[in-house]
Structures are given as structure tokens and as C-alpha cells.
């Protein structure tokens, strides 16, 4: 049985093994972030391009302070978004010299992305270990992220050890915010939006054309195997139709009541479900481009891209 307890997970993680862990966004493939060998296993299991750095998962600001620079401003944001609102945001910070983190996990950058996963099981594990967990999403590179244990096993095989923390409540990867410059810069959109951040200062969106800081910004990403089309109003021959709100002839509906949070939580699960025969393509009806709807549309655009 690949499903394990938190106690077993702690033991495996301390021994340099990898474990799939639940978070509120998507399942993560976790390893001791200070152990290169363990990190190498993560990359190979994911088939991940080696230049793609991993997010460090921590349970406290104090843990991060040991190896990354946290300005007063960033600390305010962390307190507000991690502890106060308990939302899903990763911060890109400058590394301190002599940090203990695996260079492989950092992919050679002098910055590091950190995040406090808002899931009781994983927070409890983090409170019992002395190292951060590097954890990319628990799926093979370029395929859909996993929001249930079944997806994890489906994508990575039955030999993976996984903790069952139920279906992820947010369902979309965290917002990634670069706070290493004067202006905050969103490198990847998630549940935390530009509007949420603007009261704290100026915010920019990273542009696709720029030097890739977050490979999550690569065009084709998060893709099902079947051709995906956005803003579909009418079902085509062989198409599975994924609806939002009140619509007819849909195969699945992201949210009958037009609730964007519910839609985000269902997105990857439903794309997984429709990515099968007899369907030849997947169509998605229009999703309002507001709030977390922007992140949903961002993921859908990447999944449509052929690059
Ligand atoms: O919600 C999430 O963030 C999930 C869960 C498991 O925590 N994790 C996740 O990890 O989405 P991953 O590895 O699939 O995506 C991490 C993204 C990548 O696009 C990576 O390039 C970017 O974070 N990243 C990591 N370190 C970075 C850095 N120093 N600067 C810029 N981007 C970075
Ligand atoms: Mg991913």
C-alpha cells in the first residue's frame, strides 16, 4: 500500500526518501531540501528539466530567516498572507551566503522560493523536522497537477509513498511573488491576486517574453494529453465539454453556481477525468477573467499552447 502515515513520512523524509504530501493547493512531491540525492530523485521521478528550481516548504518565518534575506516589508507580507489570511503564496527571496540548501533544488539561482503550505498534516510534519521540504507539484513535468491521491498514483505510479490529506481545497498552485526588487512582481498567478497585493505597494506582472525566472511561466505547462480549447460555446464532434455556470450539454461542470473558487478546486481533477477516450479534445466554456478566474484562464492558456 503506497498510502502512509505522517509518522512514517517523517521517518522516510529524514532518511532521504521522497513522499507525496498534501497541501491546500496541489499535492507536492517532497524531499529534504538540504539533501542533493533526495532532490535528484524528485527531478527524475518528475522528468523535470533540471533548470527548474523547486519551492521550499516551511512552517515558519523563523525557519526561512536562517538561510534567506527577509526585509521588513516582506515580513509584513508573510505575516499577513501566511499567518493572517492563510492564503497560498510563495515568496522569491535572496539567499544568504552559506545556506544549507541543495544547489540542485535551487537550480543554480541565487534566489529561493518559499511557501508555508496551509494544510494541517503537512504543517504538523514540518513542525517535527529541522529541514525545509522542497516540493514541486506531484505530477510528471508538463502534465496536470495532482489534487487528489488518486491523481498522484495515476501520474507517478503505485510505488510512490503518499499521505492522504483529501482533495486539495484550493486546487491551483500558489501565487509566486518576487520580492527581491523594489517593486513586487507576480511570476505566477494563483489564489492571491494583484488586487490583494496592491494595498501593500506597486505590483508588476512578469511577462512571458522575459528571461524565465519561473519556468512555471513557460508557455506549454499543466497540459492534458488531448487538445484543449478555451471559450468554447458549442460542443464539437468528439469533444468533452467542461462547463462553468449554467450551460447545456456539458460533460462536467466546474461550478454550477458560477463560484470561481469551486471551479479552481475542480479544474485539474475534471481535466484529468475528461482526458480519456472516447474524447478527442476538451473544450472549456468561458471563465470570467476576475479574481482566481485569471489564474484558471492562465493555466488553461498554457495547456492550450503548442510550445
Ligand atoms: O502550490 C504550489 O506552489 C505547489 C505546491 C506543491 O506547494 N508547488 C508547485 O511547485 O507548484 P512547482 O515546482 O511545480 O512550481 C514551482 C515554480 C516553478 O515554476 C519554479 O520555476 C518556480 O516555482 N521557482 C522556484 N524557485 C524559484 C526562484 N528562485 N525564482 C523564481 N521562480 C522560482
Ligand atoms: Mg508543477
pLDDT in tens, 109-133: 889 999 999 999 999 999 999 999 9
Residue nearest to atom 12 of ligand 1 (CA): 136
pTM of the predicted model as reported, rounded to 2 decimal places:
0.84
Look at residue 211 in the predicted model and tell me its pLDDT.
39
Which of 3, 10, 172, 183 is CA-nearest to residue 87? Answer: 172
Q: Check: CB of residue 210 under 8 Å from CB of residue 229.
A: no
Look at residue 51 in the predicted model and tell me its pLDDT.
59
Q: How many Cα neighbours within 13 Å face the side chain of 96? A: 12
Write the CB contacts of 228 (distance below 8 Å, at least 6 apart in sequence): 271, 281, 282, 283, 284, 300, 303, 304
Look at residue 222 in the predicted model and tell me its pLDDT.
59
Look at residue 53 in the predicted model and tell me its pLDDT.
86
Helix (H, G, I), strand (E, B) or coil at 27: coil
Q: How far is the CA of 247 from the centre of ligand 2 (A)?
A: 30
Q: How far is CA 216 from the centre of its chain?
A: 9
Residue nearest to atom 13 of ligand 1 (CA): 136
Any bridge partners for residue 93, and if so which?
Answer: 112
Task: Give the integer Cα–Cα distance in Å for 26 and 20.
Answer: 10
Nine cell digits for residue 203? 505590483
Any bridge partners for residue 53, and if so which?
Answer: none
Q: Check: CB of residue 168 under 8 Å from CB of residue 147.
A: yes
User: What lines the ligand 1 site, CB under 6 Å?
Assistant: 23, 25-26, 28, 52-55, 88, 90, 92, 109, 111-113, 115, 117, 135-137, 173-174, 176, 187, 213-216
Which residues, given as ranges, of the chain have pLDDT below 70?
Answer: 1, 48-51, 207-222, 305-307
Preceding amide of 278 cis, omega within 30: yes
Ordered domains of the chain (ranges, CATH): 6-205 (3.90.870.10), 227-304 (3.40.50.11030)
Look at residue 168 in the predicted model and tell me its pLDDT.
97
pLDDT in tens, 201-252: 999 987 543 434 444 444 455 578 899 999 999 999 999 999 999 998 999 9
Q: Which of 90, 162, 186, 221, when mutated, tests ligand 1's pocket best, judged by the most ligand atoms within 8 Å of its CB?
A: 90
164 φψ region: left (φ > 0), alpha (ψ -120 to 50), beta (else): beta
Residue nearest to atom 29 of ligand 1 (CA): 112
Look at residue 50 in the predicted model and tell me its pLDDT.
56
Amino acid at each position: 500500500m503506497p498510502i502512509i502515515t505522517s509518522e512514517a513520512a517523517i521517518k522516510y523524509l529524514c532518511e532521504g526518501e521522497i513522499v507525496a504530501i498534501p497541501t491546500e493547493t496541489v499535492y507536492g512531491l517532497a524531499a529534504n531540501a538540504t539533501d542533493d540525492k533526495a532532490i535528484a530523485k524528485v527531478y527524475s521521478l518528475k522528468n523535470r528539466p533540471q533548470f527548474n528550481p523547486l519551492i521550499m516548504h516551511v512552517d515558519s518565518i523563523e525557519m526561512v530567516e536562517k538561510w534567506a534575506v527577509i526585509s521588513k516589508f516582506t515580513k509584513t507580507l508573510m505575516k499577513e498572507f501566511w499567518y493572517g489570511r492563510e492564503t497560498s503564496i510563495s515568496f522569491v527571496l535572496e539567499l544568504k551566503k552559506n545556506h544549507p540548501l541543495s544547489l540542485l533544488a535551487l537550480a543554480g539561482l541565487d534566489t529561493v522560493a518559499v511557501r508555508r503550505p496551509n494544510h494541517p498534516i503537512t504543517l504538523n510534519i514540518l513542525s517535527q523536522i529541522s529541514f525545509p521540504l522542497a516540493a514541486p507539484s506531484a505530477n510528471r513535468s508538463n502534465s496536470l497537477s495532482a489534487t487528489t491521491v488518486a491523481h498522484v498514483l495515476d501520474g507517478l505510479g503505485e510505488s510512490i509513498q503518499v499521505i492522504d490529506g483529501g482533495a486539495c481545497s484550493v486546487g491551483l498552485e500558489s501565487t509566486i511573488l518576487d520580492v527581491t526588487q523594489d517593486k513586487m512582481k507576480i511570476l505566477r498567478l494563483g489564489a492571491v491576486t494583484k488586487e490583494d497585493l496592491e494595498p501593500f505597494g506597486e505590483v508588476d506582472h512578469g511577462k512571458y517574453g522575459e528571461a524565465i525566472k519561473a519556468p512555471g511561466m513557460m508557455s506549454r505547462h499543466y497540459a492534458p494529453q488531448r487538445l484543449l480549447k478555451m471559450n468554447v460555446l458549442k460542443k464539437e464532434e468528439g469533444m468533452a465539454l467542461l462547463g462553468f455556470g449554467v450551460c447545456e450539454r456539458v460533460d462536467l461542470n466546474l461550478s454550477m453556481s458560477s463560484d470561481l473558487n469551486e471551479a479552481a478546486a475542480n479544474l485539474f481533477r475534471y481535466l484529468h477525468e475528461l482526458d480519456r477516450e472516447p474524447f478527442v479534445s476538451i473544450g472549456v466554456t468561458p471563465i470570467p477573467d476576475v479574481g482566481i478566474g485569471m489564474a484558471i484562464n492562465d493555466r488553461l492558456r498554457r495547456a492550450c499552447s503548442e510550445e
